[in-house]
Amino acid sequence: MNKKILLLIFTLVGLSACGGENEGGATEVIIDRGNTDKGNFRVLAANDLGMHCADRDYQIMSILPPFNNVHAQIIKKGTGNTLPKILSDQEADVFYFATSSINDPVGANSINTSSRNKSGIFKSNFWQKTNAGNTLAGSAYGTLYPGKVFGSFEPLPQDMGIPVPDPVTLPQLLAAQQTLPGSANKPQKFKRFDATFPFFVKFPFGSTIQNANWFAADGIPMSPIDDKGRENAYPLMTIMAKDKAGKKLGHIDVVLPTASEADCQNCHADPNDAGNGLASTFASVDFNVMSMANAPGPEKLNNAAKINILRLHDAKHGQHYVSSADASPAKCDAVNNPTGPNCLASQTPVQCSQCHYSPALDLAQVGPVDETDQGIKGRQQTKHISMSRAMHFTHASYKNVDGQALFPNMPNPKSSQRTAMLAKKILGETCYQCHPGKKTQCLRGAMFKGGVVCQDCHGGMQQVGNDFTGGLPSGKGFDLAKRVPWASEPKCQSCHTGDALDTNHPANAIVAKDGIRLAQAYLANSVNATPITSPTSRFAENESLFRLSGNKDGSDKGHGGVMCEGCHGSTHAIWPSAVVNSNDNIAAKQIQGHAGTVTECVSCHKSGSLGNTLGGPHGMHPVGGTRFANGGHEHLAERNPNACRTCHGKNGQGTVLSKVSKDRSFSVEDVGRINLKKGQQVSCSICHRNPL
């Protein structure tokens, strides 16, 4: 493990707050965004994780900062025989600003321009001093950076995100910051363009993504509360592209998902206040339980639960690092003196990853490190298990008052016990107990719509948390053969192992009802829920993660360098979203006129320019025009009938892979008018005798 940063170079980018802002109500500025579906350019953009969790009140402890990101690509459309081209930062600039939808499920025109608080509306105290004194609530995130580096950025101006290093320059820390547009809704520029993207290259699971070619805005400090005080986990941003002369090229409206529902109050709050109080009442050690009435505001219940977590941690583990000068810290007396100087509860605000490594917050991509600086609370990550192991593996062992597992197991998809009602109940008692959540329901895309739940991809809590840091407390070191949170994830190919001609199902796989896809991303007998890999599948990613995939690689797995998320949507929010009037679906509708995976070739190609080809993504033929139907596709079938069978079935009868994504009507020579309904499986016999 690399435990040192060799060179430190920080560029203070955009540290002044947006002009014209005040503490009053935000004013939605109407900006001429142009038209998304006309002209010679197409903008594709996606948040790369599908959900970012953020606290609102940071004065006690937190897991993640206000943070969000967007990757965007600008495509010059194909004309005639010219193929589309992805523009670089030498040809275009990209900006973002807040926007809204009249059909937003939260309420019409929900817009989020700023994280500033105003009268009657609390968004966040990340940028404010805590109730305890002069410490900024967000100052705990200084532990993410070497030594006293973070102090050079403090105090962070309101609406300014934490500094994010450019991965290309690592181990040098050349950092940029993104900011919210503010109440004036001033467009903000994407600070980075990644021609290539190094991803944890010093580790076995890492690689350098070649030809990424996306604009990146990392660290946008989005709030889950809109400008009218409504809770909205799916706020919209307009992503606007301009040429170097400032002329608008196109735009797209995407969701920057952010939720504050990732809390612990159901178990860790005083049972007299809320929840079941299991962690407070039935803890294995004694400690002074904080009640809501005595906790600081504004989020008094959640803060009481956070204080109880710190006090329980003190009671169980006893002594805590204060500074590098404190080589042998005294034991904390969590019962008689819970606010003693050696108690974690007295060191607020606490940032959990200071000791419990989280790859999501390892912005410098160095792995777990111990880092000290005189008088500074440094990282102690090589002495403790990861955040994921502490949360998932440890909590999975807990029992309720009846001696049953506090977090029940999810029956596998083919179990007779698993009903839709039971799956929803268990999801609420496990993943949605802490992740956003029973209200937010961050798993909202096409897979959830098809009955897939978190455990079908990731396994149960114990399996998720059985990661590479299990040996740290005993001095056994890292085991990189095990999972690395946030980096070792199931892939598309784990369930999409093959096609209708060759399903490529491994033994002991749980097959979905359609007989082609799998209903679980790991084998039925897999103790560790190890994801299935099918690298030869036409649906296999060409990188280690879906969100990193899409670069051109000379096979049918890439599509001219277009990122996978540009056509499929974000992880956990794969198009179409199951939510009626979902903000997630707006981008797909702007690109092609309807929700769902982008299948309309005319989105980027001139109509009729593609001819009889199977060179589309995943080996597809052109969709959305009549030239393929009338232009001799039968010759393709005669020369290579198996190419048709991969999607249309071994007997040409139609499969889930040949479903149409919207109602279509077109004329076929010598046949007449053909009408297809959305969702209809296209078979050969719809138009003519079935040659297969």
Q: What contacts 17, CB < 8 A, 6 or more positions away?
A: 157, 158, 159, 160, 179, 182
The two tokens of residue 326 are: 């404190």
Supply the pLDDT for residue 408: 93
- What pLDDT is recorded for position 7? 33
pTM exceeds 0.75: yes
Measured CA to CA in angstroms, residue 152 lies from 26, 162, 364 at distances of 30, 12, 17
pLDDT of residue 472: 87
Predicted confidence at residue 445, as pLDDT, reads 93
Query: What are the pLDDT digits (tens) for 388-436?
Result: 999 999 999 988 777 888 899 999 999 999 999 999 999 999 999 889 9
In the predicted structure, residue 323 carries a pLDDT above the cut 80: no
pLDDT at residue 26, rounded to an integer: 35
Q: Is 194:213 a contact under the CB 8 Å cutoff? A: yes
Query: In the predicted model, what is the mean pLDDT of residues 598-605?
Result: 91
Tokens 């599509």 correspond to: 559
Q: What is the overall mean pLDDT for the chain?
A: 86
| Three-class SS state of 197 | strand
Residue 30 clears pLDDT 90, i.e. is over it = no
User: Other C-beta atoms within 10 Å of 348: how many?
Assistant: 22
Cα angle vertex 293, ends 290, 299, to 5°? 85
* pLDDT of res. 37: 46
Residues 6+ apart with CB under 8 A from 89: 193, 215
DSSP string for 580-633: TT-GGGHHHHHHHSSSSS---GGGTS-TT-S-S---SGGGPPP-SSSHHHHTTH
- Which of 143 and 7 is assigned the larger pLDDT? 143
CA–CA separation, 175 vs 178, rounded Å?
A: 10
Residues 608-612 have a mean pLDDT of 79
Cα–Cα distance between 276 and 141 in angstroms, integer? 31
Give the residue with greater pLDDT, 106 vs 316: 106
Q: Mean pLDDT over residues 368-392, rounded?
A: 83
CB 442 within 8 A of CB 257: yes
Residues 6+ apart with CB under 8 A from 231: 106, 224, 225, 260, 439
Annotate 229-244 with DSSP letters as a single string: S-B-SS-EEEEEEEET
- Note the pLDDT tens digit of each residue in 130-142: 766 667 888 888 8
Is residue 672 classed as helix, strand or coil in its secondary structure? strand
Q: Which residue has the higher pLDDT, 484 or 322?
A: 484
Q: Is the pLDDT of residue 629 over 90?
A: no
Euclidean distance between CA atoms 207 and 210, whole angstroms: 9
Residue 325 has pLDDT above 70, yes or no: no
Report, as an integer, the average pLDDT of 41-50.
93
Q: Is the confidence at residue 646, as pLDDT, over 60?
A: yes
- Whether the pLDDT of residue 25 is over 60: the answer is no
> To the nearest whole percent, how much of the chain has pLDDT over 70?
90
Mean pLDDT value of segment 610-624: 85
Nearest to 537 by CA among 514, 565, 504: 504
Instruction: With cut-offs at 50, 70 and 90, classify the pLDDT of residue 628.
Output: confident
Residue range 341-357: average pLDDT?
Answer: 88
Residue 92 tokens read as 């275009």
324-328 average pLDDT score: 49
* C-alpha span between 576 and 582 (Å, rounded): 9
Highest mean pLDDT among 262-266, 275-279, 538-542, 603-607: 538-542
Are 668 and 638 in contact by the 8 Å Cβ rule? The answer is: no
pLDDT of residue 622: 86
Cβ atoms within 10 Å of 442's Cβ, excluding its own? 25
- pLDDT in the model for residue 279: 83
With cut-offs at 50, 70 and 90, classify the pLDDT of residue 8.
very low
- CA neighbours closer than 13 Å in the CB half-sphere of residue 344: 23
User: SS3 of 76, please?
Assistant: strand
Question: For position 553, what pLDDT does the model report?
Answer: 60
pLDDT tens digits, one per residue of 170-206: 888 888 899 999 999 999 999 999 999 999 998 988 9
CB neighbour list of residue 577: distance below 8 Å, 6 or more residues apart: 444, 445, 446, 449, 569, 584, 585, 595
149, 241, 264: which is closest to 189 by C-alpha? Answer: 241
Are the beta carbons of 188 and 19 closer than 8 angstroms?
no
Six token digits for residue 530: 């190890």
pLDDT of residue 631: 65
Cα separations in angstroms, 498 against 459, 535, 641: 22, 10, 17
Q: Is residue 238 within 8 Å of 229, Cβ to Cβ?
A: no
Q: What is the pLDDT of residue 12?
A: 28
Residue with tokens 């008692």: 429
SS (H, E, C) 50-66: CCEECCCCCCCEECCCC
Mean pLDDT value of segment 580-606:
92
- Which residue carries 């009140």 as its tokens? 57
pLDDT of residue 19: 29
Which of 138-147, 346-355, 398-407 has the highest average model confidence (pLDDT)?
346-355
Q: What is the pLDDT of residue 491?
A: 94
Task: Return the number of other C-beta atoms located less than 10 Å from residue 655's C-beta.
Answer: 22
Please give the Cα distance from 648 to 611 (Å, whole number): 19
CA distances (Å), origin 337, targets 131, 333, 547, 589: 20, 5, 47, 59
Cis peptide before 157 (omega within 30 of 0): no
Residues 6 or more apart from 602 whose CB is under 8 A from it? 624, 625
CB atoms within 10 A of CB 414: 13
pLDDT at 320: 54
Within 203-296, residue ranges assigned H as helices are 265-268, 278-281
468-471-477-479 Cα dihedral, nearest 10 degrees: -30
Residue 596 CA to residue 589 CA, distance in Å, equals: 8
